[in-house]
Structure 1
Amino acid sequence: MVRVGACQTPEILGDPAAALDCVEQFAAHGAAREADLLLFPECFLQGYLTDDQHVSQHALELDSPGFAAVLRRLAPVEATLVFGVIEADSGLFFNTAVVVDRGQLVGRYRKTRLMPGETVFTAGEDYPTFVLRGLLRYGINICSDTQFPEPAARVAAQGANVLLVAAQNMMRRPTATRFKDLHHSMRADRARETGMWLVSADVTGTREDRIAYGPTSVLSPQGDVVAQVPLLTTGMIVADIPVMPR
Protein backbone atom coordinates (compact mmCIF):
# COMPACT_ATOMS: atom_id res chain seq x y z
CA MET A 1 0.00 0.00 0.00
CA VAL A 2 0.94 3.64 -0.54
CA ARG A 3 -0.80 6.23 1.64
CA VAL A 4 -2.05 9.31 -0.22
CA GLY A 5 -3.51 12.37 1.47
CA ALA A 6 -5.73 15.09 -0.01
CA CYS A 7 -6.15 18.50 1.62
CA GLN A 8 -9.29 20.64 1.53
CA THR A 9 -7.99 24.12 2.25
CA PRO A 10 -9.29 27.65 2.61
CA GLU A 11 -8.90 29.85 -0.45
CA ILE A 12 -5.71 31.92 -0.17
CA LEU A 13 -5.24 34.69 -2.73
CA GLY A 14 -2.02 36.52 -3.51
CA ASP A 15 -0.20 35.39 -0.36
CA PRO A 16 2.31 32.60 -1.07
CA ALA A 17 3.73 32.81 2.45
CA ALA A 18 0.30 32.04 3.92
CA ALA A 19 -0.16 29.22 1.40
CA LEU A 20 3.16 27.70 2.49
CA ASP A 21 2.10 28.04 6.13
CA CYS A 22 -0.99 26.04 5.21
CA VAL A 23 1.09 23.38 3.44
CA GLU A 24 3.31 23.02 6.49
CA GLN A 25 0.31 22.68 8.81
CA PHE A 26 -1.27 19.98 6.66
CA ALA A 27 2.12 18.28 6.26
CA ALA A 28 2.42 18.01 10.04
CA HIS A 29 -0.97 16.26 10.17
CA GLY A 30 0.05 14.13 7.21
CA ALA A 31 3.25 13.06 8.93
CA ALA A 32 1.25 12.03 11.98
CA ARG A 33 -0.86 9.86 9.70
CA GLU A 34 2.19 8.58 7.78
CA ALA A 35 1.08 9.93 4.39
CA ASP A 36 3.52 9.32 1.53
CA LEU A 37 2.02 12.07 -0.67
CA LEU A 38 -0.13 15.14 -0.04
CA LEU A 39 -2.26 16.78 -2.74
CA PHE A 40 -3.32 20.44 -2.66
CA PRO A 41 -5.72 22.50 -4.85
CA GLU A 42 -5.29 24.18 -8.22
CA CYS A 43 -3.07 27.31 -8.33
CA PHE A 44 -2.78 26.96 -4.57
CA LEU A 45 0.55 28.74 -4.08
CA GLN A 46 -0.57 32.12 -5.45
CA GLY A 47 -4.36 31.66 -5.49
CA TYR A 48 -6.69 30.97 -8.38
CA LEU A 49 -7.67 34.23 -10.07
CA THR A 50 -7.52 34.53 -13.84
CA ASP A 51 -7.24 38.28 -14.37
CA ASP A 52 -4.13 39.57 -16.08
CA GLN A 53 -2.97 41.65 -13.12
CA HIS A 54 -3.06 38.82 -10.58
CA VAL A 55 -1.40 36.33 -12.90
CA SER A 56 1.37 38.64 -14.12
CA GLN A 57 2.09 39.88 -10.59
CA HIS A 58 2.32 36.47 -8.94
CA ALA A 59 3.48 34.04 -11.65
CA LEU A 60 6.79 32.30 -10.99
CA GLU A 61 9.31 30.70 -13.30
CA LEU A 62 10.18 27.31 -11.88
CA ASP A 63 13.92 27.99 -12.23
CA SER A 64 13.68 31.40 -10.55
CA PRO A 65 15.11 32.47 -7.18
CA GLY A 66 11.53 32.97 -5.97
CA PHE A 67 10.57 29.37 -6.59
CA ALA A 68 13.91 28.18 -5.23
CA ALA A 69 12.94 29.87 -1.96
CA VAL A 70 9.66 27.94 -1.99
CA LEU A 71 11.56 24.68 -2.45
CA ARG A 72 13.96 25.49 0.40
CA ARG A 73 11.07 26.12 2.74
CA LEU A 74 9.44 22.81 1.82
CA ALA A 75 12.64 20.78 2.11
CA PRO A 76 11.87 19.53 5.66
CA VAL A 77 8.57 17.99 4.54
CA GLU A 78 9.04 14.24 4.14
CA ALA A 79 5.91 13.55 2.10
CA THR A 80 5.90 14.18 -1.65
CA LEU A 81 3.86 17.33 -2.31
CA VAL A 82 1.67 18.03 -5.34
CA PHE A 83 0.25 21.57 -5.49
CA GLY A 84 -0.93 24.11 -8.00
CA VAL A 85 1.12 27.11 -9.10
CA ILE A 86 0.79 29.92 -11.59
CA GLU A 87 3.83 29.33 -13.77
CA ALA A 88 5.62 31.77 -16.08
CA ASP A 89 7.79 30.49 -18.90
CA SER A 90 9.16 32.40 -21.90
CA GLY A 91 6.52 35.13 -21.60
CA LEU A 92 3.62 32.68 -21.32
CA PHE A 93 1.57 31.71 -18.27
CA PHE A 94 0.47 28.21 -17.33
CA ASN A 95 -1.93 26.69 -14.83
CA THR A 96 0.51 24.12 -13.47
CA ALA A 97 0.76 21.45 -10.80
CA VAL A 98 4.23 20.73 -9.47
CA VAL A 99 5.59 17.61 -7.81
CA VAL A 100 8.05 18.39 -4.99
CA ASP A 101 9.96 15.81 -2.97
CA ARG A 102 12.00 16.98 0.03
CA GLY A 103 12.58 20.38 -1.53
CA GLN A 104 13.42 19.09 -5.01
CA LEU A 105 11.28 19.79 -8.06
CA VAL A 106 10.48 16.38 -9.54
CA GLY A 107 8.30 17.59 -12.41
CA ARG A 108 5.21 19.48 -13.46
CA TYR A 109 1.94 19.08 -15.32
CA ARG A 110 0.32 21.96 -17.21
CA LYS A 111 -3.48 22.03 -17.48
CA THR A 112 -4.57 21.04 -20.99
CA ARG A 113 -8.34 21.67 -20.95
CA LEU A 114 -8.66 25.33 -20.06
CA MET A 115 -11.99 26.94 -19.20
CA PRO A 116 -13.33 29.83 -21.35
CA GLY A 117 -12.36 32.29 -18.59
CA GLU A 118 -8.74 31.11 -18.53
CA THR A 119 -7.54 32.96 -21.61
CA VAL A 120 -4.59 34.34 -19.63
CA PHE A 121 -3.13 30.81 -19.59
CA THR A 122 -1.60 28.73 -22.37
CA ALA A 123 -2.72 25.11 -22.52
CA GLY A 124 -0.22 22.39 -21.77
CA GLU A 125 0.40 19.53 -24.17
CA ASP A 126 2.01 16.71 -22.19
CA TYR A 127 0.82 14.14 -19.66
CA PRO A 128 3.83 13.18 -17.55
CA THR A 129 3.59 10.44 -14.95
CA PHE A 130 5.59 10.02 -11.77
CA VAL A 131 6.52 7.17 -9.45
CA LEU A 132 5.93 7.48 -5.72
CA ARG A 133 8.50 5.80 -3.47
CA GLY A 134 9.43 3.48 -6.34
CA LEU A 135 6.08 1.72 -5.97
CA LEU A 136 3.12 3.61 -7.42
CA ARG A 137 2.81 5.36 -10.78
CA TYR A 138 0.51 8.38 -10.88
CA GLY A 139 -0.42 11.28 -13.11
CA ILE A 140 -2.19 14.60 -12.69
CA ASN A 141 -5.26 16.35 -14.07
CA ILE A 142 -6.31 19.86 -13.10
CA CYS A 143 -9.97 20.67 -12.41
CA SER A 144 -11.82 20.97 -15.75
CA ASP A 145 -9.49 18.43 -17.37
CA THR A 146 -11.75 15.79 -15.81
CA GLN A 147 -14.73 16.95 -17.88
CA PHE A 148 -13.07 15.19 -20.81
CA PRO A 149 -12.00 11.53 -21.14
CA GLU A 150 -8.67 12.12 -22.91
CA PRO A 151 -6.54 13.66 -20.13
CA ALA A 152 -7.23 10.76 -17.76
CA ALA A 153 -6.88 8.22 -20.56
CA ARG A 154 -3.47 9.62 -21.52
CA VAL A 155 -2.30 9.13 -17.94
CA ALA A 156 -3.72 5.61 -17.68
CA ALA A 157 -2.08 4.60 -20.97
CA GLN A 158 1.30 4.99 -19.27
CA GLY A 159 0.44 2.41 -16.62
CA ALA A 160 -0.61 4.77 -13.85
CA ASN A 161 -2.67 3.45 -10.93
CA VAL A 162 -3.72 6.82 -9.54
CA LEU A 163 -4.97 10.09 -11.01
CA LEU A 164 -4.44 13.16 -8.82
CA VAL A 165 -6.86 16.02 -9.49
CA ALA A 166 -5.98 19.49 -8.22
CA ALA A 167 -9.20 21.53 -8.33
CA GLN A 168 -10.51 24.96 -7.38
CA ASN A 169 -14.28 25.30 -7.48
CA MET A 170 -14.93 28.70 -5.92
CA MET A 171 -18.03 29.46 -8.00
CA ARG A 172 -20.98 31.81 -7.98
CA ARG A 173 -23.55 30.31 -5.64
CA PRO A 174 -26.12 29.05 -8.19
CA THR A 175 -23.39 27.36 -10.25
CA ALA A 176 -21.70 25.92 -7.17
CA THR A 177 -24.97 24.45 -5.96
CA ARG A 178 -25.64 22.89 -9.36
CA PHE A 179 -22.17 21.39 -9.64
CA LYS A 180 -21.49 20.23 -6.08
CA ASP A 181 -22.87 16.77 -6.82
CA LEU A 182 -21.72 16.67 -10.45
CA HIS A 183 -18.00 16.73 -9.62
CA HIS A 184 -18.15 13.19 -8.29
CA SER A 185 -20.23 12.05 -11.24
CA MET A 186 -17.66 13.27 -13.79
CA ARG A 187 -14.72 11.98 -11.80
CA ALA A 188 -16.36 8.61 -11.29
CA ASP A 189 -16.66 8.32 -15.07
CA ARG A 190 -12.92 8.92 -15.41
CA ALA A 191 -12.13 6.33 -12.72
CA ARG A 192 -14.32 3.66 -14.30
CA GLU A 193 -13.07 4.38 -17.83
CA THR A 194 -9.43 4.07 -16.85
CA GLY A 195 -9.45 1.68 -13.87
CA MET A 196 -7.44 4.19 -11.84
CA TRP A 197 -7.98 5.43 -8.33
CA LEU A 198 -8.85 9.15 -8.37
CA VAL A 199 -7.81 11.53 -5.59
CA SER A 200 -8.96 15.16 -5.65
CA ALA A 201 -8.18 18.25 -3.55
CA ASP A 202 -10.23 21.45 -3.52
CA VAL A 203 -10.73 24.69 -1.60
CA THR A 204 -13.70 25.53 0.57
CA GLY A 205 -15.26 28.71 1.96
CA THR A 206 -16.90 31.85 0.59
CA ARG A 207 -15.83 34.98 -1.29
CA GLU A 208 -18.35 37.75 -2.02
CA ASP A 209 -21.09 36.06 -4.07
CA ARG A 210 -19.12 32.84 -4.45
CA ILE A 211 -18.92 29.62 -2.50
CA ALA A 212 -16.65 26.58 -2.66
CA TYR A 213 -18.10 23.38 -1.26
CA GLY A 214 -15.27 21.04 -2.28
CA PRO A 215 -15.30 18.08 -2.70
CA THR A 216 -11.97 16.63 -1.65
CA SER A 217 -12.24 12.89 -1.97
CA VAL A 218 -10.88 9.51 -2.98
CA LEU A 219 -12.72 7.42 -5.58
CA SER A 220 -12.08 3.76 -6.23
CA PRO A 221 -11.51 2.39 -9.75
CA GLN A 222 -15.19 1.43 -9.68
CA GLY A 223 -16.14 5.10 -9.15
CA ASP A 224 -17.20 4.72 -5.51
CA VAL A 225 -16.39 7.46 -2.99
CA VAL A 226 -14.28 5.74 -0.34
CA ALA A 227 -13.23 8.85 1.62
CA GLN A 228 -14.26 12.50 1.60
CA VAL A 229 -13.69 15.66 3.59
CA PRO A 230 -17.15 17.00 4.53
CA LEU A 231 -18.33 19.82 2.28
CA LEU A 232 -17.58 23.35 3.53
CA THR A 233 -15.02 21.96 5.99
CA THR A 234 -11.25 22.30 5.91
CA GLY A 235 -9.47 19.04 6.55
CA MET A 236 -7.54 16.12 5.14
CA ILE A 237 -8.32 12.56 4.16
CA VAL A 238 -5.86 9.74 3.68
CA ALA A 239 -6.33 6.52 1.77
CA ASP A 240 -4.17 3.45 1.33
CA ILE A 241 -3.85 2.74 -2.39
CA PRO A 242 -2.87 -0.82 -3.33
CA VAL A 243 0.23 -1.10 -5.48
CA MET A 244 -0.81 -3.22 -8.43
CA PRO A 245 0.78 -3.56 -11.88
CA ARG A 246 -1.32 -2.29 -14.75
Structure 2
Amino acid sequence: MRAVLRVGACQTPEIIGDVDAALTCLAGFAERAEAQELDLLLFPEGFLQGYLVEPGHLHSGAMDVDSAGFAAVLRRVRPLRPMLVFGFVEADGDELYNSAAVVAGGELVGVYRKTHLTAGERWFSAGEEYPTFVCNGVRFGINICYDTRFAEAAAAVAGQGARLLLVPAQNMMRRENAVRWRDRHDGVRAQRVRETRMWLVSADVTGARDESRIGWGPTSVIAPDARIVARVPLDTVGMVTAAVG
Protein backbone atom coordinates (compact mmCIF):
# COMPACT_ATOMS: atom_id res chain seq x y z
CA MET A 1 0.00 0.00 0.00
CA ARG A 2 1.30 3.45 -0.94
CA ALA A 3 2.36 5.49 2.10
CA VAL A 4 0.37 8.60 2.98
CA LEU A 5 1.79 11.65 4.75
CA ARG A 6 -0.60 13.89 6.66
CA VAL A 7 0.74 17.45 6.35
CA GLY A 8 -0.27 20.74 7.91
CA ALA A 9 0.90 24.14 6.62
CA CYS A 10 0.65 27.15 8.91
CA GLN A 11 -0.04 30.74 7.82
CA THR A 12 1.32 32.76 10.72
CA PRO A 13 1.70 36.34 11.83
CA GLU A 14 5.13 37.82 11.20
CA ILE A 15 7.21 37.59 14.39
CA ILE A 16 10.52 39.46 14.40
CA GLY A 17 13.30 39.14 16.96
CA ASP A 18 11.36 37.07 19.52
CA VAL A 19 12.27 33.38 19.39
CA ASP A 20 10.16 32.64 22.45
CA ALA A 21 7.06 34.12 20.79
CA ALA A 22 7.79 32.21 17.57
CA LEU A 23 8.02 28.92 19.48
CA THR A 24 4.83 29.72 21.36
CA CYS A 25 3.12 30.30 18.02
CA LEU A 26 4.54 27.05 16.65
CA ALA A 27 3.38 25.07 19.67
CA GLY A 28 -0.06 26.66 19.42
CA PHE A 29 -0.48 25.33 15.90
CA ALA A 30 0.91 21.90 16.86
CA GLU A 31 -1.56 21.63 19.75
CA ARG A 32 -4.67 22.45 17.68
CA ALA A 33 -7.23 19.69 17.40
CA GLU A 34 -6.75 19.44 13.62
CA ALA A 35 -3.00 18.92 14.13
CA GLN A 36 -3.28 15.93 16.44
CA GLU A 37 -3.24 13.36 13.65
CA LEU A 38 -0.71 15.12 11.44
CA ASP A 39 2.72 13.70 10.65
CA LEU A 40 4.38 16.98 9.66
CA LEU A 41 3.87 20.71 10.20
CA LEU A 42 5.36 23.37 7.92
CA PHE A 43 6.11 26.98 8.94
CA PRO A 44 7.25 30.04 6.92
CA GLU A 45 10.66 31.19 5.77
CA GLY A 46 12.77 32.80 8.50
CA PHE A 47 10.09 31.88 11.03
CA LEU A 48 12.24 31.36 14.11
CA GLN A 49 14.00 34.72 14.33
CA GLY A 50 11.90 36.65 11.81
CA TYR A 51 12.70 37.44 8.19
CA LEU A 52 14.18 40.91 8.55
CA VAL A 53 17.09 41.12 6.13
CA GLU A 54 19.17 43.72 7.92
CA PRO A 55 22.72 42.98 9.09
CA GLY A 56 22.13 43.90 12.72
CA HIS A 57 19.13 41.60 13.06
CA LEU A 58 20.77 38.76 11.14
CA HIS A 59 24.06 38.75 13.03
CA SER A 60 22.49 39.16 16.46
CA GLY A 61 19.87 36.47 15.96
CA ALA A 62 21.55 33.86 13.75
CA MET A 63 22.00 30.42 15.33
CA ASP A 64 24.54 27.71 14.77
CA VAL A 65 22.77 24.35 14.89
CA ASP A 66 25.41 23.17 17.40
CA SER A 67 24.88 26.15 19.71
CA ALA A 68 23.27 26.22 23.15
CA GLY A 69 20.59 28.51 21.76
CA PHE A 70 19.53 26.04 19.11
CA ALA A 71 19.67 23.19 21.64
CA ALA A 72 17.18 25.17 23.73
CA VAL A 73 14.89 25.44 20.70
CA LEU A 74 15.04 21.68 20.22
CA ARG A 75 14.21 21.07 23.88
CA ARG A 76 11.24 23.40 23.61
CA VAL A 77 9.69 21.52 20.68
CA ARG A 78 10.52 18.00 21.90
CA PRO A 79 7.01 17.32 23.31
CA LEU A 80 5.33 18.13 19.98
CA ARG A 81 4.29 15.06 18.02
CA PRO A 82 4.59 16.07 14.35
CA MET A 83 7.85 16.44 12.46
CA LEU A 84 8.49 20.18 12.12
CA VAL A 85 9.92 22.13 9.21
CA PHE A 86 10.56 25.81 9.92
CA GLY A 87 12.69 28.60 8.50
CA PHE A 88 15.54 30.12 10.50
CA VAL A 89 18.63 32.26 10.12
CA GLU A 90 21.59 29.87 10.36
CA ALA A 91 25.15 30.78 11.32
CA ASP A 92 28.02 28.54 10.25
CA GLY A 93 31.35 30.14 11.10
CA ASP A 94 31.40 33.51 9.36
CA GLU A 95 28.63 32.54 6.93
CA LEU A 96 24.91 33.20 7.26
CA TYR A 97 22.29 31.06 5.53
CA ASN A 98 18.57 31.37 4.94
CA SER A 99 17.74 27.85 6.06
CA ALA A 100 14.95 25.45 6.94
CA ALA A 101 15.33 23.02 9.83
CA VAL A 102 13.75 19.56 9.83
CA VAL A 103 13.10 18.46 13.41
CA ALA A 104 11.51 15.31 14.81
CA GLY A 105 11.05 14.53 18.50
CA GLY A 106 13.33 17.37 19.50
CA GLU A 107 16.17 16.10 17.31
CA LEU A 108 17.58 17.89 14.26
CA VAL A 109 17.08 15.61 11.26
CA GLY A 110 18.69 17.98 8.76
CA VAL A 111 18.89 21.45 7.23
CA TYR A 112 18.19 22.87 3.80
CA ARG A 113 19.94 26.12 2.81
CA LYS A 114 18.23 28.38 0.26
CA THR A 115 20.08 28.08 -3.03
CA HIS A 116 18.65 31.06 -4.95
CA LEU A 117 18.92 34.40 -3.18
CA THR A 118 17.22 37.65 -4.09
CA ALA A 119 19.18 40.87 -4.56
CA GLY A 120 18.11 41.93 -1.07
CA GLU A 121 19.61 38.83 0.53
CA ARG A 122 23.23 39.83 -0.05
CA TRP A 123 24.23 39.09 3.56
CA PHE A 124 23.41 35.41 3.07
CA SER A 125 25.52 32.77 1.39
CA ALA A 126 23.73 30.46 -1.04
CA GLY A 127 23.30 26.79 -0.28
CA GLU A 128 24.54 24.23 -2.78
CA GLU A 129 22.69 21.02 -1.93
CA TYR A 130 19.14 19.64 -2.05
CA PRO A 131 18.85 17.14 0.78
CA THR A 132 15.71 15.02 0.97
CA PHE A 133 14.05 13.51 4.03
CA VAL A 134 11.51 10.81 4.80
CA CYS A 135 8.45 11.11 7.03
CA ASN A 136 5.93 8.30 7.39
CA GLY A 137 7.37 6.60 4.32
CA VAL A 138 7.09 9.65 2.03
CA ARG A 139 10.25 11.32 0.73
CA PHE A 140 10.22 15.12 0.57
CA GLY A 141 12.54 18.01 -0.12
CA ILE A 142 12.50 21.76 0.38
CA ASN A 143 12.66 24.89 -1.76
CA ILE A 144 12.54 28.23 0.07
CA CYS A 145 10.35 30.97 -1.44
CA TYR A 146 12.36 32.50 -4.35
CA ASP A 147 13.84 29.06 -5.12
CA THR A 148 10.53 28.18 -6.76
CA ARG A 149 11.22 30.66 -9.56
CA PHE A 150 13.90 28.25 -10.81
CA ALA A 151 12.91 24.92 -12.35
CA GLU A 152 16.21 23.27 -11.48
CA ALA A 153 15.59 23.67 -7.74
CA ALA A 154 12.40 21.60 -7.79
CA ALA A 155 13.88 19.19 -10.33
CA ALA A 156 16.81 18.47 -8.00
CA VAL A 157 14.36 17.34 -5.33
CA ALA A 158 12.17 15.34 -7.70
CA GLY A 159 15.24 13.62 -9.14
CA GLN A 160 15.83 11.95 -5.78
CA GLY A 161 12.45 10.27 -5.83
CA ALA A 162 10.65 12.81 -3.65
CA ARG A 163 6.86 12.93 -3.82
CA LEU A 164 6.46 16.21 -1.94
CA LEU A 165 8.06 19.66 -2.16
CA LEU A 166 7.75 21.85 0.93
CA VAL A 167 8.01 25.61 0.39
CA PRO A 168 8.55 27.83 3.43
CA ALA A 169 7.87 31.35 2.09
CA GLN A 170 7.80 34.92 3.38
CA ASN A 171 6.00 37.39 1.17
CA MET A 172 5.86 40.41 3.45
CA MET A 173 6.36 42.87 0.59
CA ARG A 174 6.18 46.56 -0.10
CA ARG A 175 2.55 47.27 -0.87
CA GLU A 176 2.99 47.90 -4.58
CA ASN A 177 4.83 44.57 -4.99
CA ALA A 178 2.36 42.77 -2.73
CA VAL A 179 -0.53 43.91 -4.90
CA ARG A 180 1.26 42.85 -8.09
CA TRP A 181 2.12 39.41 -6.70
CA ARG A 182 -1.03 38.76 -4.64
CA ASP A 183 -2.50 36.20 -7.05
CA ARG A 184 0.68 35.04 -8.80
CA HIS A 185 2.59 33.00 -6.21
CA ASP A 186 0.62 29.79 -6.63
CA GLY A 187 0.84 30.09 -10.42
CA VAL A 188 4.64 29.95 -10.22
CA ARG A 189 4.50 27.02 -7.83
CA ALA A 190 1.98 25.18 -10.00
CA GLN A 191 4.44 25.36 -12.89
CA ARG A 192 7.04 23.53 -10.79
CA VAL A 193 4.39 20.91 -10.02
CA ARG A 194 3.58 20.43 -13.72
CA GLU A 195 7.27 19.83 -14.40
CA THR A 196 7.91 17.42 -11.53
CA ARG A 197 4.52 15.84 -10.70
CA MET A 198 5.24 16.27 -7.01
CA TRP A 199 2.79 17.52 -4.43
CA LEU A 200 3.67 21.04 -3.24
CA VAL A 201 2.79 22.50 0.15
CA SER A 202 3.66 26.10 1.04
CA ALA A 203 3.52 28.14 4.26
CA ASP A 204 3.60 31.94 4.42
CA VAL A 205 3.03 34.91 6.74
CA THR A 206 0.18 37.37 6.83
CA GLY A 207 -0.49 40.81 8.29
CA ALA A 208 1.19 44.20 8.04
CA ARG A 209 4.69 45.04 9.23
CA ASP A 210 4.15 48.79 8.96
CA GLU A 211 2.45 51.23 6.61
CA SER A 212 4.68 50.19 3.72
CA ARG A 213 4.75 46.38 3.93
CA ILE A 214 1.96 43.82 3.88
CA GLY A 215 1.67 40.05 3.55
CA TRP A 216 -1.40 38.09 2.48
CA GLY A 217 0.02 34.59 2.05
CA PRO A 218 -0.79 32.29 0.32
CA THR A 219 -0.44 29.04 2.22
CA SER A 220 -1.57 26.28 -0.12
CA VAL A 221 -1.59 22.63 -1.12
CA ILE A 222 -1.11 21.90 -4.83
CA ALA A 223 -1.76 18.37 -6.12
CA PRO A 224 0.45 16.65 -8.72
CA ASP A 225 -2.00 17.65 -11.47
CA ALA A 226 -1.34 21.32 -10.50
CA ARG A 227 -4.77 21.86 -8.92
CA ILE A 228 -4.89 23.97 -5.76
CA VAL A 229 -6.75 21.57 -3.48
CA ALA A 230 -6.59 23.58 -0.24
CA ARG A 231 -5.58 27.07 0.80
CA VAL A 232 -5.74 29.22 3.90
CA PRO A 233 -7.77 32.34 3.04
CA LEU A 234 -5.55 35.30 2.20
CA ASP A 235 -4.90 37.74 5.05
CA THR A 236 -5.94 35.12 7.61
CA VAL A 237 -3.92 33.29 10.25
CA GLY A 238 -4.70 29.60 9.95
CA MET A 239 -3.73 26.08 8.97
CA VAL A 240 -4.48 23.92 5.97
CA THR A 241 -4.10 20.13 6.01
CA ALA A 242 -3.82 17.46 3.37
CA ALA A 243 -3.08 13.78 2.93
CA VAL A 244 -0.18 13.48 0.51
CA GLY A 245 0.10 10.13 -1.20
Q: Deviations over 1:76-113 (max 9, x none)?
A: 01100000010000111000000000100000000000
For structure 2, the 5+ residue unaligned runs are none
> Partners in 1 of 2:5 and 2:146 — Cα distance?
26
1:28 to 27, 31, 36: 31
Are 1:46 and 2:79 counterparts?
Answer: no
User: Residue type matched to 1:100 in 2?
Assistant: V
Report if the CA contact (8 A) 2:30-2:36 is conserved: no
> Partners in 2 of 1:142 and 1:3 — Cα distance?
21
Report if the CA contact (8 A) 2:29-2:35 is conserved: no
Q: Deviations over 1:206-225 (max 9, x none)?
A: 01111101000000111110
For structure 1, the 5+ residue unaligned runs are none
Aligned to 1:117, the other structure's residue is in SS state: helix
Are 1:170 and 2:181 counterparts?
Answer: no
1:207 to 206, 209, 215: 209
> Partners in 2 of 1:232 and 1:131 — Cα distance?
32
Give matches, 1:135-146, under 5 Å: 135-146=137-148
Aligned to 1:174, the other structure's residue is in SS state: helix
Give the percent of matched residue pairs that are identical in Structure 1 and Structure 2. 59
> Partners in 2 of 1:120 and 1:27 — Cα distance?
32
Report if the CA contact (8 A) 1:31-1:79 is conserved: no
Q: Deviations over 1:150-206 (max 9, x none)?
A: 110000000000000000000011100110111011000001100000000000000
2:135 to 120, 124, 132: 132
**Matched residue, 2:189:** 187
> Partners in 2 of 1:29 and 1:145 — Cα distance?
30
> Partners in 2 of 1:166 and 1:21 — Cα distance?
18
User: Residue type matched to 1:137 in 2?
Assistant: R
Give the CA deviation at 1:30.
6.0
The 1:30/1:153 distance shift into structure 2, 3 A limit, reads farther
> Partners in 1 of 2:16 and 2:173 — Cα distance?
15
Report if the CA contact (8 A) 1:110-1:124 is conserved: yes
User: Residue type matched to 2:225 in 1?
Assistant: Q
Report if the CA contact (8 A) 1:5-1:30 is conserved: no
Report if the CA contact (8 A) 2:96-2:123 is conserved: yes
User: Residue type matched to 1:152 in 2?
Assistant: A
Give the CA deviation at 1:33.
4.4
> Partners in 1 of 2:164 and 2:5 — Cα distance?
11
